[in-house]
Amino acid sequence: EYKVTKATFCIFNAFQKIDVRCEASFPGHVRTYYVDGSGKITDDVPEELWGQAFLCSLIRAQQPPPALACIKILPPAPLHLDNAFVDLVKQFFWEGPKLGNMPEDGKEEGNHMLSTIAKEYFKVTRRPEMGLALFSSITPRKPAIAV
């Protein structure tokens, strides 16, 4: 017989290169924190880091699965997750340099990496109309994104 005393949910935030974790001990204690590449643990997890981590998970879900027989393939994400993806892309799009992305034009705005990933996301999910709507809302501020 097994007794579960602790469970950890871990999600990688690729923008900040950190693991965001939620640890539940049974009975009754929950701790959220993040761990950076050097192993430093920080207990205060801002809402922004959770949003970035969720965006990363939605992006990873669209990648082809690795060639491992033990991997279970889940069905495509439901439409409400696409809406969350669009909201998060809009939220973090103009923070390119803060997300570890160096803009090609040297300006402190935009996110070329995120625009490429979003384009690929809508291609893989076969929802080009959502992609068109997203980029239509971004191009007035940065027309080069439309190219």
- Does residue 27 have a cis peptide bond before it, meaning omega lies within 30 degrees of 0? yes
Give the Cα separation of 6 and 14 in Å (integer).
25
12: three-class secondary structure by DSSP:
strand
Contact 94, 114 (CB under 8 A): no
**pTM confidence score:** 0.55
Q: What pLDDT, in 10s, does the model give residues 38-90?
A: 899 999 999 999 999 999 888 888 777 777 666 666 666 677 888 888 898 88
